[in-house]
Structure 1
């Protein structure tokens, strides 16, 4: 019978304590944000809000969802995330399936893609290219430049390599095409890896703000992250201005908190459905033959 040693017990105590502390570090700021969004202006200006609403009201959320720019930015982010994830996963799964096979020139292609991960073309050439292609001020400027990621490709290639070759050979004998093998064998068996990479891409698109400001000249076309960035920057500039009263600046804090909290909800709601695949996808994707 296995007996836990004293060292193991001490390690377990410190391990659980560390994980609880890490969880609180992630959870408490979100709880404070929610409390601020549900508190009154007087409570916020008096710095009375910690982790529980003071002077409970929903005014901040009413104003948030009454803001047409916020709603349009949210729809832009949803469209961007859906389109970007779908296009990226189509490209990455096709490329990953091909590069998981042995053929002449495969290593050259892999190093070519890895090179793009280490050295980018630069901001100015990217802007010139997007503008020259007529993508500026369109949703495609937010989707196409980042449609291919070398890191995600490496994960999928390594994951596809873990699938037994015998399954593919048996399918070939039965007359299956490459597309049929990919769609009916590789994709179902690669669900953890696909879910992991999809989550990476979704979070990247949802949180990306710089390209929205760069490629969208009209603020009404900003994705949600770009909209929130401008709100935070403008709020900070107003708080620094001598003509702006402290009470008025603090009264806007609840609206800003509500907008930021709402922006985190989609990722929070999606993650539990993909979480069970996440660890398995990372571990199996890191295995190399």
Structure 2
């Protein structure tokens, strides 16, 4: 039995206490927002809401969900995530694999690497980007939200560094068995790169789901807005809709406020991410390369 000294027990105790306090500090703001979203506007305005709803009500969620555009925006965001993840992941892998090779194998590797790094430091700007999207004919379509960022360079760097850290014996064994680059990538690199792929997947899903500015620029019709853009526009138009609503809607507006609707929007936006994250979490903890090379 491994002996645990008294000093080490004290260290573990202090460590657990500090980590618990940090976890609670991160959790308290979320609980407070949840309580605000389920509280009445008067209770929130008076500052009486802390970590439990006061005058429990679903008015904020009803105000957001009563518009049929919400479901359409939700579907647009889901489609954007599916298509965007597929395009980003395929291009990220196809770019990272050759750039992970040594200069002796891929002579132009340095040139291409600096080409991609340059795009991280400089961009054409908002207006040239809009003109490119317009002239390519994808304006006001789902592809306008996907193709401009089809190759996320930061994710390429993550995948590239992971590929470079893989044992070269794996690739050499595949080449001795007659495998080419595509077979080596598909059968050797990808199976042992699930932790890196899971990380890139999470970054891509969160990025597409939370993006709202490009939807505001590239989508002419509000009916084509993704969810994040729709929620942002709802917040901006809330103060302008009071004079043109029905009596029933006006009564609902008296029960909500900017703070309650903001809290509701946050939770409506974060729920899909919370549903996806547990399925990817295990890949951040366990590495699949250990033991893949036998001596």
Q: Pick one of 163, 173, 177 that aligns with 2:176.
A: 173
Q: Distance in 1 between matches of 2:112 and 2:201?
A: 23
Shift in alpha-carbon separation, 1:33–1:237, aligned structure 2, 3 A: farther
Q: What's the CA shift for 1:57?
A: 3.6
Q: Distance in 2 between matches of 1:67 and 1:260?
A: 17
* Aligned residue number for residue 161 of structure 1: 164
Q: What's the CA shift for 1:183?
A: 1.3
Q: Distance in 2 between matches of 1:280 and 1:229?
A: 38
* Aligned residue number for residue 43 of structure 2: 43
Q: Distance in 1 between matches of 2:50 and 2:241?
A: 24
* Aligned residue number for residue 272 of structure 1: 278
1:192 correspondence with 2:179:
no
Q: What's the CA shift for 1:261?
A: 1.2
Count of residue correspondences: 274
Please give the secondary structure, in 2, of the residue aligned with 1:50. Answer: coil
* Aligned residue number for residue 118 of structure 2: 115
Shift in alpha-carbon separation, 1:132–1:22, aligned structure 2, 3 A: farther
* Aligned residue number for residue 100 of structure 1: 100
Q: What's the CA shift for 1:36?
A: 2.4
* Aligned residue number for residue 242 of structure 1: none
Q: What's the CA shift for 1:79?
A: 1.0
Q: Distance in 1 between matches of 2:12 and 2:114?
A: 41
1:138 correspondence with 2:141:
yes
Q: Distance in 1 between matches of 2:67 and 2:27?
A: 27
Preserved CA contact (<8 Å) 1:213 1:226 = yes
Preserved CA contact (<8 Å) 2:40 2:255 = no
* Aligned residue number for residue 266 of structure 2: 260
Q: Distance in 2 between matches of 1:210 and 1:75?
A: 18
Q: What's the CA shift for 1:272?
A: 2.1
Q: What's the CA shift for 1:49?
A: 2.4
* Aligned residue number for residue 23 of structure 1: 23
1:147 correspondence with 2:150:
yes
Q: Distance in 2 between matches of 1:277 and 1:211?
A: 31
Q: Distance in 1 between matches of 2:277 and 2:284?
A: 9
Preserved CA contact (<8 Å) 1:40 1:55 = yes
Q: What's the CA shift for 1:48?
A: 3.1
For structure 1, list consecutive stretches of 5 or more residues without a partner in the other structure.
240-244, 285-289
Shift in alpha-carbon separation, 1:232–1:59, aligned structure 2, 3 A: closer
Please give the secondary structure, in 2, of the residue aligned with 1:189. Answer: coil
> What TM-score results when the alignment is normalised by the length of structure 1?
0.83
Q: Distance in 1 between matches of 2:12 and 2:240?
A: 48
Q: What's the CA shift for 1:256?
A: 4.4
Q: Distance in 2 between matches of 1:249 and 1:169?
A: 69
Preserved CA contact (<8 Å) 2:93 2:159 = yes
Q: Distance in 2 between matches of 1:12 and 1:150?
A: 42
